[in-house]
Amino acid sequence: MDNQTIEELAAITDLLDLSKVFMLLAAAIFLWLSNLLMRRLGQKLMDKIPSRRFLILQTSTLITFLWYIGGAYWMIVGILQPPREMLLALGGSAAVAVGFALKDVAASIIAGLILLFDRPFQVGDRVSFEDTYGEIVSIGLRSVRLITLDDNLVTIPNSRFITEVVASGNAGALDMMVICDFHVALDADLDLAQALIHEAIVTSRFVYLKKPVTFAINEVVVAERLAIRLRAKSYVLDVHYEKAYQSDIVMRVSRLFAEHGITRPQRNSAPAVAAEPG
């Protein structure tokens, strides 16, 4: 063997030193435990300061992202301490191999960086993505995780959010618009019906009154029958109460309609007939 080959073998043997392997394992465990501790601390802060929940979630996500990147760099450069030439050679070879083998993962990691700076949505937002609706709980290196209203954890690769349409219901705010539709018969007292819905909304314990309550009234077809749809748009004070707020409004409006004789669309009402072309 020539001197260069012997030096390379010696460098590789030095990298595989048992003490360095143990140090790598200890460093990996330390990184994981530290991240777990930070997440628990963040959860306690969110419980104590609910009005700053989104800011705490966003900050903890960014810290986790930077923590793992910095930790990986420290483990390679600080513990392994490979020679510069080997680092460059292995880095180039690994980049090519990993680039082909983990093309989708690499795309998701790059997309994760874009999401952190472009911020089409934030941690804590209620978003709709294809057929999935829920709250963003983390934006990681590879994927975004959200909790659906059925308490299912859904993991979506970051790269999907770069090419697909995603809708955010609250865009970083604590409050969010909630839409409730109510259908009444054609001969119902619309002024009274709207007033009753408005009363149920503004007296709900979940309503956010700093933003307006608005209505849109249209004729629609319900079960092949014409009806009047009263669409109420209002804001819930915290996205966590979205469904509780919606349920509260529907129950109270249904009770008020029954008490005041507001008629609902009936099966025996006149069927909707399309106008003949003139």
pLDDT digits (tens, 9 = 90+) for 145-183: 999 988 899 999 888 888 888 898 888 888 999 999 999
Domain ranges, residue 232:
176-260
**Surface-to-core class of residue 154, CB atoms within 10 Å of its CB (0-12 exposed, 13-18 middle, 19+ buried):** middle
pLDDT at 119 over 80: no
Name the residue with higher pLDDT: 114 or 267.
Answer: 114
Question: Backbone phi, then psi, for 271, in 5-degree steps?
Answer: -70, 155
Q: Does 276 fall in a domain? A: no
pLDDT band at 237 (very low <50, low <70, confident <90, very high): very high
Q: Are residues 75 and 140 in the same domain?
A: no
CATH number at residue 136: 2.30.30.60
Whether residue 235 lies inside any domain: the answer is yes
Coil, helix or strand at residue 247:
helix
Is residue 270 included in any domain, yes or no? no
Confidence of residue 278 (pLDDT cuts 50, 70, 90): very low
pLDDT band at 275 (very low <50, low <70, confident <90, very high): very low
Angle, CA 227 vertex, CA 225 and CA 228 arms, to 5°: 170
Q: What is the pLDDT of residue 5?
A: 57
CB-based burial label for 118 (10 Å; 0-12, 13-18, 19+) = exposed
For residue 33, what are the CA distances in angstroms to 26, 67, 75, 98? 10, 12, 16, 27
Interatomic CA distance for residues 128 and 130, integer angstroms: 6
Overall domain count for the chain = 3
Lookup result for tokens 């209203």: 149
235 with 201: CB under 8 angstroms?
Answer: no
Q: What is the pTM of this model?
A: 0.61
103 vs 23, 48, 97, 109, CA distance in Å?
30, 42, 10, 10
Rounded-to-integer distance, Cα 197 and Cα 252, Å: 8
The residue whose two tokens read 């001969």 is 187
> In one letter, which amino acid is 260?
H
Q: What is the mean pLDDT of the chain?
A: 81
Predicted local confidence at residue 32, as pLDDT: 85
Residues 85 and 13 in one domain: yes
CA distances from 210 to 171, 173, 177, 202 (A): 17, 13, 12, 11
* 207 lies in some domain: yes
Instruction: Report d(CA 147, CA 133) in Å as an integer.
Output: 8
Q: Are residues 97 and 153 in the same domain?
A: no
Residue that is written with structure tokens 């777990």 in the block: 36
Which segment, 19-28, 62-71, 113-122, 218-227, is predicted with the most confidence on average? 218-227
Judgement on whether residues 143 and 92 belong to the same structural domain of the protein: no
Are the C-beta atoms of residues 218 and 245 closer than 8 Å to each other? no
Instruction: Please write the tens of the pLDDT for every residue from 30-70.
Output: 888 888 888 888 888 877 887 676 677 767 777 877 887 78
The better pLDDT of the pair 258, 20 is held by 258
